Each structure stands twice: as structure tokens, then as C-alpha cells.
Structure 1
Amino acid sequence: MNRPIRIGVQLQPQHAPYSRLRDAVRRCEDIGVDVVFNWDHFFPLYGDPDGAHYECWTMLGAWAEQSTRIEIGALVSCNSYRNPELLADMARTVDNICAGRLILGIGSGWRKRDYDEYGYPFGTAGSRLDDLAAALPRIEARLGKLNPPPSRDVPILIGGGGERKTLRLVAEHADIWHSFSDRDSYPRKAEILTRHCADVGRDPAAIERAAEVTGDDLATMLGNAEGLTGLGITMLTLGVNGPEYDLSRAEALCRWRDRDRAGR
């Protein structure tokens, strides 16, 4: 399956007033970003641990109303924080607001402080993955029952690279797999996913591949982008932090993507 290269930007909702986030979404549309993500945490992941921070899904509703072209979603929403049926209803509502531009990103969760301060049982990595396995069919079933329905079959993005449980869930449920892996670790993960797909009778080519592109300088970042796409990854994501939300690297990636498209 010949997929176009897409550029995703994760606007990290920390250390900034909301006006800066709103402006960054607008600028992402202006420079040609394909997908804008946030994340699903309750406190900053780095910098001042008690700094400014905003909730994920409330923000996605605002982005849905503000934007006109980009796809939006969480990279990723934590399964533990919301009842699966409720999460499906929230996703359908955001999907309807933005006329079919939502990606439902989801993972099993890992940030202990979020769990402790908001009163969720933390469990173990294994129990959280088991909870995600139980939730995904419920989410899919509820999406099929809601009135009005979603504007489209809402794509499910699963984040993670656990070889036994997470990649099995990717094979069973995901439209997009964000591997959180690099050029060295990705091939092994992809091969394991292929085996899981064979076990469940699914074509691995039906799953879009995504990964973060990094680099200490622009040339290194673009070289890593070339390497990742050479491995079959077609969605490249870039984390951008507040308060300034410097999009210069995202703009360079969009120009690189456009040159690639023009050369095909």
C-alpha cells in the first residue's frame, strides 16, 4: 500500500498559556502540517513539574472547532482515565465537531503521578495492558451504536512497542501504529507485528506506521526522516514544547515532505 508521507506535530500542553497553544494550532495549519496531537497527562512531563498544564480532551474539542483542515488527536490518550464507552462518546463528539478529522490515539498509560493524584489505581504494566485489551472492543462497539454516528470510521492509533501484548493489540485493532522506536529498533518491532498480524488474519500493510523523528540539528533530523521513511514509516511526528512553540523544524519537515511528493 503506497501511503503518502504525513507530518504530525505534538503540541505539548505544558508551560504555556492556552492562547499560545491556540496560535500554534493555527500556525500548524498555515505551514501544512497534516496532524496535530497533544498528550494525555495532568502535569508537565519535564521542566517545572508543577508548571502550567492543560487537560487533553477538552482541548481537542476546542481544536476541532478552531481548525479546518488538519487531523487532530492525542498521542496518546490514556485508557485508564475514562470509561471506554465514555471515551468513545467523547471521540464521536469531537469527530462530529471537526467533520471527520479525529484520530483516536490510545495507550495503556504509564505516568504514576497522574494516577496517584487523580485517584486512579496504577496496577502494573501488565494489568494496564489487560485493561486496554478489554476496553478496545467496548470502544469499537460503542462507536457503532452512537446517534448520530461518527462522520467516518474513526482511525484508532495505538502507541507502544511491547512485543507480546501491545503489538498484538495493534494487529487486532489499530489503523495506525506509533511505535515510539528509532531506525535501529523499528525493524525488529515491525517483524513481530507482522507475525501477530498473521496470527489474527490481518494484512500488516493495512496498518499505517508512525514514529517520532529526532535530531540535534536540522540536517540530522532530515536524515533520520529519510531513514525512517525508507523503513516504511509514513507518519513522522515531532514534539514541540511551550511556551514559544517553535515550528521551524516542523516547517522544514513539511518542505521536505512536499519535495518528496513532487518527486514521486
Structure 2
Amino acid sequence: MTTTTERPIRIGLQIQPQHADYDAIRRAAAQAEDLGVDILFNWDHFYPLSGDPDGKHFECWTMLGAWAEATSRVEIGALVSCNSYRNPELLADMARTVDHISDGRLILGIGAGWFQKDYDEYGYEFGTPGSRLAALGEALPRIEKRFAELNPAPMRKIPVLIGGGGEKKTLRLVARHADIWHGFGDAEVAARKIEILDRHCADVGRDPAEIERSVGVSGSPSDSGDQLADLGITLFTVSADGPDYDLSELRQWLTWRDSRNG
């Protein structure tokens, strides 16, 4: 199991783009950047995931383009973009464009997709978990190929973040293609996933230390932060929901980050 790393602890904030006017989302992004957050994420859905299912909601990639102009330091990305909603070549071009607008600050978060209402309402074929994962596996090499063909090229090797914890398929895709793996769960769950990811890396001949480990967290960092960090996880993302975007939890995790990084 990978238990040590030279990477610094980083803190992300997922600003959930639901139940809020865009002015509030923009203010939350600016405030988080001022507080010192490392990464700002949104998500790639068309309807709220909690609260009123038909409440206010905004689209992911249009927002990332706006954040690229409205921020100056933080990395930005989706946690995560749904592979089903865009042709892989188009997604690569969109990511490259936002990469340039942001002066090289984009992270391409991607996953297989799961929220059936999005699919049904926007006319995408929902399929099965297996078919969506197969489509993701087909898309990732196409995205990589398109990055290499675009003119102008991306400003850097755009980091690819793959979200999900499926042990047989998703984590194998992470081992092959990802720069960052994002999962959920407590230290016991994370330890199991990391061990399996390391085995997949060995199978495909990749150094597992090349992949940053990321987890979604909530509550106080005193409850779980040190245990997760001791497993080699270095990216911790909290979330804030509209309409008010309370950042008090983010502040706690930023303080903890600074104490860990020294």
C-alpha cells in the first residue's frame, strides 16, 4: 500500500451549482480563492441532486469558462464531468480552451455518469453501469489523442482526475489514465481502494506514486484528516451548497492543511 508521499496537502471546494443565483456562486468562488483554497470544483449535472429536484441549477462547462476569467490562482475543474454528455473529442477541445482561458489551471475531472434524470430529460441513453464504464474506457484514449492533435496545444499536460471506486473496472482505468483518483469513504474504505489501485498500477506497469489520491470529506478534519493523510491521500475536497454557500467548514480544513504542510 502507498503510505508516504512528497506531495503537499491540498484542499478543494466543490461549489454545488444548485439552488442559487449565479451571483452567489461567483461570490463563493472569489471568497474561497481569497481564503487560499487550492482547487475550485463544480459538478456536471443538469438538475439539483438534493433539495427541490427542479430547483435552480447551472451547467458545468459554461461555468468553468467563467471561473477561468474570474479567478487568477486556483485550479478549476468539474468533480466530475460526465463522459456521456459530450463527444470525447469535443470534451478535449473544451478542456483545452478552458485551460488556455485560465492560463493553465484546468483539471479535467471525468466519470462514467450515474444520475438518470439528467439522461432522461436531455435525451441521452442511460444504458447500464457496465455500458457507461465501457464508454468511459473508450473515451479516455480518444481524449488523450485529441489533446495531442489540438492547435494550439494545451498549456500543460492537463491533469486527468477520474472519480469512482469500482474495484475491477474504474480503478483499472485510473491506473492507466489518471493523474488524480477521487473517491469517497472513511479511512477503512480508502485503505482498501488504495491497495487495489496499487495492484492495478503494478499490473499495467505504472508507478502508483504518479497518481494523486483525493477524497471527498465533511465535518471536522480532526475526525478523519490525519488518518486519511497517513494513507497517502493529499487532496481533500469539501462541498458547499446554495443558496448561501457557508464556507466555515472550508476554513477548518484550510487551517488543518497549513498545520500539516508546516
% identical equivalent positions: 65
| In 2: Cα distance, 1:186 partner to 1:260 partner | 19
Number of the residue aligned with 2:16: 12
| Aligned counterpart in structure 2 of residue 132 of structure 1, from 130, 136, 154 | 136
| Aligned counterpart in structure 1 of residue 213 of structure 2, from 209, 213, 216 | 209
Cα displacement (A) at 1:249: 1.0
Residue ranges of structure 1 left out of the alignment (5+ in a row): none
Q: Residue by residue, what CA displacement relative to the aligned partner does 1:195-254 show, whole Å, maximum 9, x if unpaired?
A: 111111001111000001122xx3xx3331111111110000001101110111111111
Number of the residue aligned with 2:62: 58
> Is 1:92 aligned to 2:91, yes or no?
no
Number of the residue aligned with 2:245: 245
Matches within 5 A, 1:95-244: 95-215=99-219, 218=220, 221-244=221-244
| In 2: Cα distance, 1:182 partner to 1:9 partner | 18
Q: Residue by residue, what CA displacement relative to the aligned partner does 1:34-88 show, whole Å, maximum 9, x if unpaired?
A: 0000000000000000000000000000000110000000000000000000000
Residue ranges of structure 2 left out of the alignment (5+ in a row): none
| In 2: Cα distance, 1:26 partner to 1:232 partner | 29
| In 1: Cα distance, 2:229 partner to 2:123 partner | 41
Cα displacement (A) at 1:175: 0.1
Does the 8 Å CA contact 1:39/1:75 hold for their aligned counterparts? yes
RMSD: 0.8
How many residue pairs were aligned? 258
Number of the residue aligned with 1:41: 45
Does the 8 Å CA contact 1:214/1:224 hold for their aligned counterparts? no
For 1:246, give the aligned amino acid: D
For 1:174, give the aligned amino acid: A
Does the 8 Å CA contact 1:7/1:254 hold for their aligned counterparts? yes
Q: Secondary structure at the match of 2:250?
A: helix
| In 2: Cα distance, 1:54 partner to 1:108 partner | 20
TM-score (norm 2): 0.97
For 2:49, give the aligned amino acid: L
Does the 8 Å CA contact 2:37/2:74 hold for their aligned counterparts? yes
Does the 8 Å CA contact 1:179/1:211 hold for their aligned counterparts? yes
| In 2: Cα distance, 1:7 partner to 1:149 partner | 28
| In 2: Cα distance, 1:224 partner to 1:192 partner | 21
Does the 8 Å CA contact 1:177/1:208 hold for their aligned counterparts? yes
Cα displacement (A) at 1:181: 2.6
For 2:115, give the aligned amino acid: R
Does the 8 Å CA contact 1:171/1:193 hold for their aligned counterparts? yes
Q: Secondary structure at the match of 1:161?
A: coil
For 1:214, give the aligned amino acid: S
Does the 8 Å CA contact 1:64/1:94 hold for their aligned counterparts? yes
Q: Residue by residue, what CA displacement relative to the aligned partner does 1:104-140 show, whole Å, maximum 9, x if unpaired?
A: 0000000000000000000000000000000000000
Q: Secondary structure at the match of 1:157?
A: strand
